Structure 1
Amino acid sequence: MSLQSDLTLATSAAHQAGDLLIRHWNDRARLIIDEKRPGDFVSQADHGSEALLRDRLIQPGDGWLGEETDQLDSNRRWIVDPLDGTTNFLRGIEHWAVSVALEQDGRLVLGVVHDPLKSQTFSAIDGGPLLLNGQPVTQPPVPEFHNCLFGTGLPFGDMPHIPDHAQDLCRVLPTSAGVRRMGAAALDLAYVAAGRLDGFWERRLRPWDIAAGLVLLRAAGCRTEGWTQDAPPERTGTVITARDPHFDRFAKLLRQTA
């Protein structure tokens, strides 16, 4: 199966999962909600979306890594977040997505981030280009650093790195046009790839949070690193990304707290 065929399959599956989620969204008051840990929620919407994606995507010999189901090991595996931004979804905040990535021989080669409410699907295969609803994305000009808008995710509950992130904000906020915490890392990374945000950082994310977004970023020519240059986000879950020419300055600001 070619990567282009895989992309067609992944996009179709993400759209089908999005349709299912829209039905739950319109009746979300009836959802039964469980709390996996303080502030981390799951519902039938997450489980139903993941079951649909797993059924549509897995071919004989494929592996699987999803947020809500058991892992299947293979040198070719799907990495899926069936509902990125669950808290937003449950609270009626219109910023959530379906995220689908494909990894082959340890390398991310395909990514799809689908926003059902806005009918926007960001996608790419290894080597690019970045697509939005099937069309190449033309990025806006990169502003001066003091006019850049960055995204992040904030730790909560009993997460141990709250003080570190507070220090990050103290360094980034005075030098930029602001920071957005929108609550769906997959969409945030897609927004950086499309030039809606100029950079993003977050610590200790899970593979399904960032896998598809990393493919989109690289297709768009954005630099992506971990907290150190030799610690890739795929391995650590910590990601720093920005549009050139500002990556080095952005990363230096953040790494002062390492």
Structure 2
Amino acid sequence: MKPLFKPAATEVFAGGVAQLPSPWAHAAHKPVFIAFLVCFAIAWTALLLGGSPSEDWPWLNGLFWLLAATTSLTGLARRLPEQNVFIAATLIVAVSFGIAIMAEKTGPRTYTAALGEKILGVPWPIPLFWLAVTVNGRGVARLIMRPWRKTTYYGFWVIGLTCLLAVLFDSGLEPFATRVKHYWFWETHGNIPSWYSAPWVNFLGWFAVALGILGFTTPWLINKQPVKQPTDYHPLVLWLLLNSYFTTGNALEQLWHAVAFSLVANLIVAVYAVRGARW
């Protein structure tokens, strides 16, 4: 039986020559992940104790998402050349930030000061959300689709599943962001179908943005090493931690529909991801 938390390879071989996709990432991965876990524990404990980091520790929200994005990219760099990771990260930030600016100018959402300083009306951590969603969502999708990785349309299935996972992520984030942490609020008319004040078109937007991001970044996210590498559970662990953070906050505010949906959906995701990884 394969161990659940199997480390990524420290070296791979192509043509008989040992190569390291990003040597620094293997040294940095563990301390960066531990730093994220410490920050996660502080934020999660504050939720349980009824504290509000948005008000008491305004720096914690930004640090939380900065570390989430950093550990996501560090984990990715263990499997890809650093130039690929850098270009992919740059594209994710540029595309997500550009779309967020346009949405802020035309959409019914208003950002508060809970996420820190704003750039052109958009809080600076917003692109970090998309880094975490894209990198880890794609990692989870690859685990789920692993049994079919040699089929013709495997890549398209991974892209589509990643976009669906982004929508799932937002289904837990929206009530957490609007009712728990007050990252933003929606001015949605009463006759428009909504999910905790977020209009349903918002979720279509998340699917479209994720699809657009993957359209630009997928060529840089493909591992071109012609050798098999160990299964990487790091994206799944991060994915479940982030969603559990949302679910905890939503439960404390008694947002039971959001809690139930997130628990059931992420349980299904976890089961299929582990099943696919052990295939």
Q: TM-score, normalised by structure 2?
A: 0.27
Rg bigger for which structure? Answer: 2
Task: Say which structure is richer in helix.
Answer: 2
